[in-house]
Amino acid sequence: MKTMHLKIGDYEICPIPTGLFGLDGGAMFGTVPKVLWEKNHPTDDKNRIQMEARALLLKSKDHNILIDTGNGADFVEKYGEKMGGKFAEMYNVTGRALEASLAKFSVTVDDIDTVILTHLHFDHAGGATCARDGKIMPTFPKAKYFVQKENLKTAQTPNLRERASYLPANFEPLLRENVLELLDGEQKNLRPGIHVHISNGHTHAQQIVEVAGPNESLFYCADMIPTASHVRIPWIMGYDLNPLLLMEEKIKLLQLALQKNAYIYFEHDADCEAARVQARGTDFEVAERLHLI
């Protein structure tokens, strides 16, 4: 694995691990047999694989942009005593590292001016709000938060499969405090050099964020490609709402990544922050694993 500091255009690429958690291995790999994935993703006694909730800080002279926020730490305060304890135990949530990870890059919650939420599932938006003075408030008091209008609609009226993943405490305070900006479709230059693509295979209106530079780019793939193993087109999650659509979206994005000399950033891989990919016949594979510092 290659260790490197990465800058794309005006932005320093700063990985922000927010903490480990666990999800069922079978759910994470769908129809892929366990014998194929367990070597790289060993399970615990409850068949959970270790996952990272890895946000991304884009740091420039004009902006501090955070993409996703992890699970959050205030489980009991935000979700209630019963739900909070049950939530943390079920998903083996151990992370309380968001602020500490930001501090490594000399950034505090007050310095973040933009938060891009790929979607409002708890492991992506849980850190968007926090318990403060007995009230659930936006974690980043000076930031505007961006999410797709259709994803908010899904979060407010979730289907039965996703109802447990969309928790009102993670987004209702953003609406109440008028800090949530709703986007409608793909966006060019949401901030300079920051483009938003849309994926509907995992959930409705997930945002895939592109950091575009003059010679290379980076794609923050969220749950379209959650780990390095999921670069393979047929390797999709049992959580995905529309598997066939998701596979088509992965092909399109990875082809674009090759055209743009792009890095793929993994939100949930506990061991690998990013990678270069290459074509493998009609499929794709990791060409080089990267540890970003």
**pLDDT tens figures, 234-286:** 999 999 999 999 999 999 999 999 999 999 999 999 999 999 999 999 999 99
CA distance 262 to 206: 20
**pLDDT tens figures, 27-52:** 999 999 999 999 999 999 999 999 99
Strands 144-148 and 194-199, by their bridges, are: unpaired
Cβ(178)–Cβ(36) below 8 Å:
no
Token pair in block for residue 162: 């996703």
First to last CA, the chain: 13
Per-residue b or e along 39-56, where b marks 16 or more CB atoms closer than 10 Å to that residue's CB: eebebeeeebbbbbbbbb
Q: How far is CA 249 from CA 47, 236, 274, in A?
A: 29, 12, 19
Per-residue b or e along 241-268, where b marks 16 or more CB atoms closer than 10 Å to that residue's CB: ebbeebbebbeebbeebeebebbbbbbb
Query: Considering the chain, what is the average pLDDT of its residues?
Result: 97
Does residue 95 register a pLDDT over 80? no
CA distance 19 to 101: 10
**pLDDT tens figures, 114-159:** 999 999 999 999 999 999 999 999 999 999 999 999 999 999 999 9
